[in-house]
């Protein structure tokens, strides 16, 4: 569905996207993770034919990004939820969607059916006649998602769709994405929300101007654990951890960090298989009573932070 080879964008002396080679399959939800300024939005704008590429190749379906004759065909094929919603605030929710449906050449029947369908799915049908300018940020974001889908595109780009939303609105948007996923809709999702990416994405790419890694969340986690990345020992105690336990653990060789959550200790180690005996001994010596000890692999957060830090060095 999407394929790029060496895709690059420069703004003067600034390289925003550097030699991006990537493939997104039809029917998958692909998450693009990266910090602010990593080039995620620039990539989406190039793929949506909103800005030109500096060099490299990119194709959407059978069309060439950057080829003038294909640009309009690509725009008909895709939907975009941008980082700023850009609605007509003086029109109702219904009229906003009806206007964009007309621009895409949807018939009156298609417009009516899709407006009702998507507003209902997003919990906005009862607000269809309300002026968009009176909507909350979360409601506007949901309306922007409906707008992007009004012409039933084959590919949906979403740029930080839950950014700055309250938890309830963010959950509605995530659930909606999961609903589209069940329909085998191809979705390219820009986000820096690791939990969101892990919940909804089939595969993930981590970008920091350059593409640092791609794979399923599980593949990325396994790669870091097997490659000498940080692993964790999780110790469940019968009581809360004491200062003496923490002090004892932090004196051990090979301990990276120790975090406490209630009666749970999370200890980062270089080699838990060899170091767990010393961890247990230090806790017992400090008066702790252990219920269980488990070894946890690298989390997606561990993978992300390691790759971004190394990529920026």
pLDDT tens digits, residue range 153-211? Answer: 999 999 999 887 888 888 888 888 998 988 889 999 998 888 888 889 999 999 999 99
Asked whether residue 297 carries a pLDDT value surpassing 80, the answer given is no
Q: 163: which 2 tokens?
A: 């950014």
| Nearest to 296, CA basis, from 246, 248, 237, 233 | 233
248-266: average pLDDT: 84
Span 83-109, pLDDT tens digits = 888 899 999 999 999 999 999 999 999
Q: What is the pLDDT of residue 106?
A: 94
Identify the structural domains of the chain with CATH numbers, from first to last.
2-222 (3.40.50.300), 230-297 (3.30.70.100)
CB under 8 Å to 227, separation ≥6 — which residues?
none
Q: What is the pLDDT of residue 230?
A: 56
Q: What is the pLDDT of residue 305?
A: 80
Q: What is the pLDDT of residue 205?
A: 94
The pTM score is 0.77
User: What pLDDT band is residue 312 in, cutting at 50, 70 and 90?
Assistant: low
Q: What is the pLDDT of residue 153?
A: 94
264-293: average pLDDT: 84
141-161: average pLDDT: 94
Asked whether residue 128 carries a pLDDT value surpassing 90, the answer given is yes
Q: What is the pLDDT of residue 301?
A: 77
Q: 80: which 2 tokens?
A: 């975009």
Span 209-251, pLDDT tens digits = 999 999 988 788 767 655 555 566 777 787 888 888 888 888 8
Instruction: Give CA torsion, residues 260, 264, 270, 274, to 10 deg.
Output: 140
Write phi, then psi, for 176 (nearest 5 degrees). Answer: -65, -40
Asked whether residue 262 carries a pLDDT value surpassing 90, the answer given is no
- 44 contacts 217 by C-beta, under 8 angstroms: no
Q: What is the pLDDT of residue 203?
A: 95
Q: What is the pLDDT of residue 225?
A: 55
- Sheet containing strand 255-261, strands side by side: 255-261, 264-269, 231-237, 290-296
Q: What is the pLDDT of residue 272?
A: 76
Q: What is the pLDDT of residue 224?
A: 63
Per-position DSSP letters for the chain, written without gaps between them: -EEEEEEEEEETTEEEEEEEEEEE-TT-EEEEE--TTSSHHHHHHHHTTSS--SEEEEEETTEETT-HHHHHHHHHHEEEE-SS----TTSBHHHHHHHHHHHTT--HHHHHHHHHHHHHHTT-GGGTTSBGGGS-HHHHHHHHHHHHHTT--SEEEEESTTTT--HHHHHHHHHHHHHHHHTT-EEEEEE--HHHHHHH-SEEEEEESEEEEEE-HHHHHHHHHHTT--EEEEEEESSPPPHHHHHHHHTSTTEEEEEEETTEEEEEES-HHHHHHHHHHHHHHTT--EEEEEEE---HHHHHHHHHHHHT-
Q: What is the pLDDT of residue 229?
A: 52
- 234 contacts 294 by C-beta, under 8 angstroms: yes
- 209 contacts 17 by C-beta, under 8 angstroms: yes
Span 43-85, pLDDT tens digits = 999 999 999 999 999 999 989 998 989 999 999 999 999 988 8
- 63 contacts 73 by C-beta, under 8 angstroms: yes
Tokens 């692993």 correspond to what residue?
231
Q: What is the pLDDT of residue 32?
A: 94
Residue 140 CB burial class (10 angstroms; 0-12, 13-18, ≥19)? buried
- Distance CA(45)–CA(39), nearest Å, equals 10
């Amino acid at each position: 569905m999407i394929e790029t080879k060496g895709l690059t964008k420069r703004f003067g002396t600034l390289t925003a996207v550097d030699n991006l080679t990537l493939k997104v399959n039809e029917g998958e939800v692909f998450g693009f993770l990266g910090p602010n300024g990593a080039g995620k939005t620039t990539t989406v704008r190039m793929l949506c034919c909103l800005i030109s590429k500096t060099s490299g190749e990119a194709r959407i379906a059978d069309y060439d990004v950057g080829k003038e004759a294909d640009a309009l065909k690509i725009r008909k094929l895709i939907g975009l939820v941008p980082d700023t919603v850009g609605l007509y605030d003086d029109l109702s929710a219904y009229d906003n969607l009806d206007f964009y449906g007309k621009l895409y050449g949807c018939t009156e029947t298609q417009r009516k059916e899709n407006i009702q369908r998507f507003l209902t799915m997003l919990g906005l049908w009862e607000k269809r006649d309300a002026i968009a300018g009176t909507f909350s940020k979360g409601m506007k974001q949901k309306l922007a998602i409906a707008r992007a889908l009004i012409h039933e595109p084959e590919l949906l780009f979403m740029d930080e769709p839950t950014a700055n939303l309250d938890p309830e609105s963010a959950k509605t948007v995530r659930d909606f994405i999961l609903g589209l996923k069940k329909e085998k809709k191809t979705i390219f999702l820009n986000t820096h929300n690791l939990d969101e990416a892990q919940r909804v994405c089939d595969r993930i790419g981590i970008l920091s101007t350059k593409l640092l890694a791609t794979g399923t969340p599980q593949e990325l986690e396994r790669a870091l654990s097997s490659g000498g990345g940080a692993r964790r020992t999780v110790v469940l105690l019968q009581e809360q951890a004491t200062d003496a336990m923490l002090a004892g653990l932090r004196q051990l060789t090979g301990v990276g960090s120790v975090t406490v959550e209630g009666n749970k200790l999370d200890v980062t180690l270089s080699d838990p298989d060899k170091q767990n005996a010393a961890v247990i001994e230090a806790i017992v010596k400090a008066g702790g009573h252990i219920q269980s000890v488990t070894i946890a692999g690298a989390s997606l957060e561990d993978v992300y932070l390691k790759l971004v830090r190394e990529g920026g060095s």
